[in-house]
Amino acid sequence: MSRKKKREEASVIEEFQAIGFNVGEEEYGLAISSVAEIITTPHITRVPKAPEYIKGVINLHGNVIPVFDIASCFKIGETKMNGNGRIVVVEVNEETVGIAAESVSNVTRLPVNSVKPPPPLVSGIAAEYLDGVARLPDRFLIFLNLEKVLASENVATEQ
Amino acid sequence: MTDSMGEIRRIFYEEVADLLDKVDMLLLDIEDSPDDEELQNQFMRAVHTIKGSAGTAGFNLFADVAHKIEDVADYLHTGKTAATTEFFDRLSHAIEVMQNSLQAIIAGKEEPVELEEVYNSFVEWLEEAGHIEADERKIGAGVDANQFSLGEYDLIRLRVMAKRGAKLHRVDVRIAADASPETAGVKVLTALRKAGDVVTTIPAENEMDAIKETFRLAVLFGGEQTAEEIKALLTDSDFLEVKVSAYVAEEKKEDPDKQQQELLDPIKSDKTVRMEMEVLDQLLRLVGELMINRSRYSQIAQEFREILKDAELAGELDEASEHLGYLTSQLQSGIMRARMVAVARLFRAMKRQVRNSSHLSARKIRLVTSGDKTELDKKLVDALEDLLVELVGAVAACAAESAGGEEVQIHTSAAQRGNQVFLSIRAAGAAPLDEEINKITAPLAEIGGRLEKESKSDSYAYHIALPITLAIIPVMMVETGDEIYAFPLEVVNETLKVTQAQISSVEGHPVTELRGRALSLLFLRQALNTPGELEKDSYSVVVVDYKNEPVGIVVDKLIGKREIVIKPLGSRFSGIEEVNGSAILGDGRVALILNARSLISDSQHLAV
């Protein structure tokens, strides 16, 4: 089910659960339903000749999946992995991928109507890649449209 | 119905599923070679067995359709009918309906009405063609009026009863016109079942409403009673007349050859076991993990040697792990063999596609196959079927549009070489547009396959290279910087160590000397842009063949020979030619499998 639909449903209850993850200066939000799992960063194997925004591949329960660097996707820097780093595993377009995160916040309940349509450009990211932004008292969450961001056409491998 | 019916359904499915596939394939072969008598015999035997199994299991519609197919095939055999397109279309359709019906049956449903439609359409067709008497009745009027149809199970039951000393009688009951025929029928059977065994009936038990047409019921009854005693059991105003006669087991006009075949087939299937694909998948996964686990022992042995400096313990561990490796290999081979199926079934699907294209266009297009017996993992075959049908469809479409009037041939072949299977499709004339073909490149890459196009002046070919299975291959593991890579062992000629001093430069390219000749070198670190820059005193070199010349790939360290399970990287990485998949190492890390040829041809660091 798309996030939008889930949100529509949740709007009856008015709230949904989300996690936030940090990359560079920004905090990105993901509805909990979109997240398959969150793991501590295993060894990331670099893939030579792969695009910049693919940090490499990792072993997830015996399957080899790519790890994305969101910051690199949008050319706004690079995700720095340290002790707090995590990989947020999502399933998008029938593909399991990992998103590199410098840190991950706890699950929060958010009012659905706190997620507003994004302005044309948010922190260097064009609106078409965003599902919305949530302005909360203490933070500002950017909700990515993962299907678009990770879609093969956008991020096709070099030939 | 007793509980054994569930068992009978299952046995029926197991026997008939394979036979239907076989029959489907044979039909295509017969269409290609209509004069081949042996093919026709095989076809009829298979259909005959299907008929028998269906009858025994109580799927009479199924049996009837099989019967009609047998008849029709026989007409071809005896020359009463010609091998026209209509002939094959009808048979092909009937087989398809039977396959769908089989699925319905195994899902617990009743025989679909489509079977009846097919049967009736056959009757009509044969009537029109003058092959049968106009009054041969369609379904609903009862089939084969007077003989009991006995399958293998029935015969076995009869033999057992005879051994027991039971007497067999045929009980014919005529039902009063004013009675409800079905109820009367049930009364007969209930009464008889209280007294002994009902082997079979005419009409069959699940077709009791056919009694409405004939007002007759015949029962093959086994028990201790005499004819008079049986007659005495059946007193009811509904029964107009009851005739009881001793039954002499008279098998129908069976061909001794056909009978032999029928007896053999069930025996053959006793030697095989059907297994869920999932079980094999699970086993293969476990073997893969065993292999990964085993390589841990090698690593640990290495650490004993280097860190603890205990060569003896290391040696013992190594020996034990080698033996484990040997056992695991055997296990792996066994399981992979179990999963292998012949590509013939792929060719069958392709043939069907070509046949359709041929019918749709005006050209006669034929698919000629070779290497049918080449084997591939079943998972791969399943994944390939759609892709290959699409590919051959595009080729056939182009062939259809080509000039000329004679038959167009498309050649497809399959061959195994080492760890790979090569599938080729060849045709003359103009090739399909690249966009059409590109649609299958990505899904193909996902299963580890690669498509290459070969263009000649007046013909072209597509070559697909596939791993034989989701495979386990031996590799040479190497380390450069902090990164671990694997080269498939089949491309590695030898390995050697070189010191910095032994490397010289020719026109800016590194070379060293190997047995008196110059060996071009490629530093892996440079080819892959490995981070970090470390000049070492000595390196290891993996020597591979490139265009018949040896080339040395320079790495920091050789880790050693290993066996790894190939994990495909997915279509996202299919554009990177230098990387051919990945493997999970003993410590959980992912190592990439490199394509030496691509590395060398890409690099500018060579003196070649």
pLDDT band (50, 70, 90) for residue A98: very high
The reply to whether B576 touches chain A by the CB within 8 Å rule is yes
pLDDT band (50, 70, 90) for residue A152: low
Measured CA to CA, the distance from residue A123 to residue A79 in angstroms comes to: 15
- Residues in chain B with CB shorter than 8 Å from the CB of A40 are none
Distances (CA, A) of B504 to A21, B494, B534, B607: 51, 20, 18, 11
- Residues in chain B with CB shorter than 8 Å from the CB of A63 are 567
The reply to whether A50 touches chain B by the CB within 8 Å rule is yes
Q: Which of A62, A64, A159 is nearest residue B569 as measured by Cβ atoms?
A: A64
Measured CA to CA, the distance from residue A27 to residue A105 in angstroms comes to: 9
pLDDT band (50, 70, 90) for residue A12: low
Q: In which residue are the tokens 């377009």 written? A: A93
Q: Which whole number is the average pLDDT over A62-91?
A: 87
In the predicted model, residues of chain B with pLDDT beneath 70 are 1-8, 129-146, 151-152, 249-271, 295, 418-419, 445-446, 448, 468-472, 604-608
Q: What is the pLDDT of residue B266?
A: 38
Is the pTM of the predicted complex or chain greater than 0.95? Answer: no
Burial of B447 from C-beta contacts in 10 A (0-12 / 13-18 / 19+)? middle
Q: Which among A40-54, A110-124, B109-123, B584-598 has the top mean pLDDT?
A: A40-54
CB contact under 8 A, B588 and A42: yes
Q: What is the pLDDT of residue B592?
A: 95
- B292-301: long-range contacts, CB 8 A cutoff, minimum separation 24: B292/B564, B292/B565, B292/B584, B292/B585, B292/B586, B293/B586, B294/B321, B294/B324, B294/B325, B294/B328, B295/B562, B295/B563, B295/B564, B295/B585, B295/B586, B296/B586, B296/B587, B297/B321, B297/B324, B298/B560, B298/B562, B298/B586, B299/B586, B299/B587
CB contact under 8 A, A158 and B575: yes
CB contact under 8 A, A157 and B584: no
Q: What is the pLDDT of residue B590?
A: 92
Percent of chain A with pLDDT strictly greater than 90: 30
Measured CA to CA, the distance from residue B185 to residue B179 in angstroms comes to: 10
Q: What is the pLDDT of residue A32?
A: 87
- Residues in chain B with CB shorter than 8 Å from the CB of A47 are 569, 573, 576, 579, 592
- Residues in chain A with CB shorter than 8 Å from the CB of B527 are 48
Measured CA to CA, the distance from residue A123 to residue B94 in angstroms comes to: 64
Q: Which of B285, B531, B590 is nearest residue A57 as measured by Cβ atoms?
A: B590
The interface pTM score, or ipTM, of the predicted complex is 0.84
In this predicted model, what pLDDT tens digit does every residue of B278-291 receive, in sequence order? 788 788 778 777 77
- Residues in chain A with CB shorter than 8 Å from the CB of B572 are 54, 66, 95, 152, 157
- Residues in chain A with CB shorter than 8 Å from the CB of B566 are none
C-alpha distance from A39 to closest chain B C-alpha (Å): 14
C-alpha distance from B463 to closest chain A C-alpha (Å): 20
Beta bridge partners of B414: B423
Q: What is the pLDDT of residue B259?
A: 43
CB contact under 8 A, B483 and A45: yes
C-alpha distance from B573 to closest chain A C-alpha (Å): 6
Higher model confidence: residue A8 or residue A75?
A75
Q: What is the pLDDT of residue B547?
A: 80
Residues of chain B numbered 543-572 and touching chain A (CB < 8 Å) = 567-572
And the tokens for B281?
């998948």
C-alpha distance from B292 to closest chain A C-alpha (Å): 11
| E strand map for B325-398 | 340-342, 365-370, 375-377
The reply to whether A62 touches chain B by the CB within 8 Å rule is yes
Q: Which of A59, A63, A158 is nearest residue B589 as measured by Cβ atoms?
A: A59
